[in-house]
A and B are shown apart, each in its own frame.
Chain A
Amino acid sequence: DIQMTQSPSTLSAFVGDTVTITCRASQSISTWLAWFQQKPGKAPKVLISKASNLKSGVPSRFSGSGSGTEFTLTISSLQPDDFATYYCQQYNSYSGTFGQGTKLEI
């Protein structure tokens, strides 16, 4: 299985800040990478697919980049609603390893 390594595991920030989360794949996954947001007690919500394609309805302050083995999620001008846990996921054929998650704290 492809391994996904996400960092940092915890990130503290202020409202209005810009933050970046990194995800590394153990082998090339082209751009088959998604980013999810999860809030306590809820199912994950996909924010970005194909490494950089923002899903409909997701605010433009979220952006993704990368290809191959290195990917980033950037959230600019943090809003109170953005404080949650974020996961990357590689989806290749129909396998789908997740990163360990990044908890974004106020």
Chain B
Amino acid sequence: QVQLIQSGAEVKKPGSSVRVSCEASGDAFSTYIITWVRQAPGQGLEWMGGIIPIFNTANYAQNFQGRVTIIADESTKTAYMELSSLRSEDTAVYFCARGGITGPPDSWGQGTLVTVSS
């Protein structure tokens, strides 16, 4: 069973960028989909994008096109999500999750709180 360990909470200024990491341990990494999902305070889940590490090609939600970059490092079994041009509305918990190629994300990280504030 995979465990996904995310990096710690971040506080960022508007206009800056944030990078959140997600390290997989205990199971395969490269042939699964690594998905990033965020949840603003009191709000629902928002799919941001995903990557299959072995193909190293990411797919992004239209809402985040041009602002989000998702990459994966097979050697360290770590995925990264970088979000740029941060604004206060980006304050949220960011989750990484892993799922099969034909399945939903079924293993989740603990979440990383990103706070955007001047």
Contact = CB atoms under 8 A, between A and B. Distances in A.
B96 to A, nearest CB: 10
Contacts, number: 66
A12 interface: no
In the complex, which range does the number of interface residues on chain B fall in? 20 to 34
Contact of B105 (A1, A38, A46, A100): A46
A97 B47 CA distance: 6
Interface string A51-63: 0000100000000
A94 B52 contact: yes
A46 B107 CA distance: 9
A43 B108 contact: yes
| Chain B interface, >50% SS class | strand
Interface of A: 1, 34, 36, 38, 43-46, 49-50, 55, 85, 87, 89, 91, 93-101
Interface of B: 33, 35, 37, 44-47, 50-52, 59, 61-63, 95, 97, 99, 101, 103-106, 108-111
25 contacts: A1-B61, A1-B62, A1-B63, A36-B45, A43-B108, A43-B110, A43-B111, A45-B108, A46-B106, A89-B47, A89-B104, A91-B105, A94-B33, A94-B35, A94-B50, A94-B52, A94-B59, A94-B101, A95-B61, A96-B47, A96-B105, A97-B47, A97-B61, A98-B47, A101-B45
